[in-house]
Amino acid sequence: MVGKRVLVVDDDVKTVELVELYLNRDGYRVLTAYDGAEALRLAREAHPDLIVLDIMLPGLDGLQVCRTLRNESDVPIIMLTARTTEQDRLIGLELGADDYVTKPFSPRELAARVRAVLRRLPEESLHRGPKEVVAGELKLNLETHEASLAKKPLNLTPMEFRLLAIMAREPGVVFSRAQLINRAFGYDFDGFDRTVDVHILNLRRKLETEPGRPRYIKTVYGTGYKFTGGKE
């Protein structure tokens, strides 16, 4: 998968740059902000996968930012603070921070915490919602990652599996290419629309008996694609 995005918030430029360096080295994409307002704006706009948040910030401080964000999303937050009193630590955790690192910190350690926090996420989301998508003769088992059409197993690539799952979850609904890209790749992906077409083509080859006259994945001219149960 493409690198996850981490928003780093600290009023000290040197600190931000140091953290950025280390996170980049680990393959993350880094967004930066230097005050609380900017942090909130970026968090809302870019939906990062994790936020590293200093407590001491000009204007809105880190705790306020943390509290605000918690009301809006479940994005994991790692707090940074110079102070080390037990109370500060508890306050941060009570506000919903996922982890806590005290300054001065080693960037290596912070990077390790980032990895650790991000690693335990997938387990959560995976077990939410239905474990199987069924639409007509199509079956997609999200747990075993197996796909079948009329009992016959399909051998799908990760991208094909994702795209098909997105569409099959809501049969009949038309998805634009942009929507498909967003859902399959994550928001903010800057890729080429037409790549979707190629995946659709490959999907049709695998599940249509007559790819030229598709029964499952229909094209809606000028709009996008939709999945139908196969019964028109």
Partner DNA sequence: CCTGGCCTTAACAATTTCTGAACATTTGCG
Partner DNA sequence: CGCAAATGTTCAGAAATTGTTAAGGCCAGG
Q: Which residues make up the interface to a second copy (CB under 8 A)?
A: 1, 14, 18, 21, 86, 90, 93-94, 96-100, 104, 106-109, 112, 115-117, 119-120, 122-124, 127, 143-146, 157-158, 172-174, 176, 178-179, 181-182, 187-190, 220-223, 226
DSSP secondary structure string, the chain? -PPPEEEEE-S-HHHHHHHHHHHHHTT-EEEEESSHHHHHHHHHHH--SEEEEES--SSS-HHHHHHHHHTT----EEEEES---HHHHHHHHHTT-SEEEESS--HHHHHHHHHHHHHTHHHHHHTSS-SEEEETTEEEETTTTEEEETTEEE---HHHHHHHHHHHHSTT-EE-HHHHHHHHH-TT----THHHHHHHHHHHHHH-SSTTS-SSEEEETTTEEEE--S--
204 binds, among a second copy, DNA, none (CB under 5 to 8 A by kind): DNA
Q: How far is the CB of 50 from DNA (least distance, A)?
A: 18
Longest dimension (CA), the chain: 68
Q: Which is nearer to a second copy, 47 or 226 (CB)?
A: 226
Q: Which is nearer to DNA, 64 or 202 (CB)?
A: 202
127 binds, among DNA, a second copy, none (CB under 5 to 8 A by kind): a second copy
82 binds, among DNA, a second copy, none (CB under 5 to 8 A by kind): none
Six-digit token string for 223: 């709009």
Q: How far is the CB of 209 from a second copy (least distance, A)?
A: 23
Q: How far is the CB of 148 from DNA (least distance, A)?
A: 16
Q: How far is the CB of 37 from a second copy (least distance, A)?
A: 25
Q: Which residues bind DNA (CB under 7 A)?
A: 1-2, 157-160, 177, 185, 189-192, 194-195, 197-201, 204, 211-212, 219-224
210 binds, among DNA, a second copy, none (CB under 5 to 8 A by kind): none
208 binds, among DNA, a second copy, none (CB under 5 to 8 A by kind): none
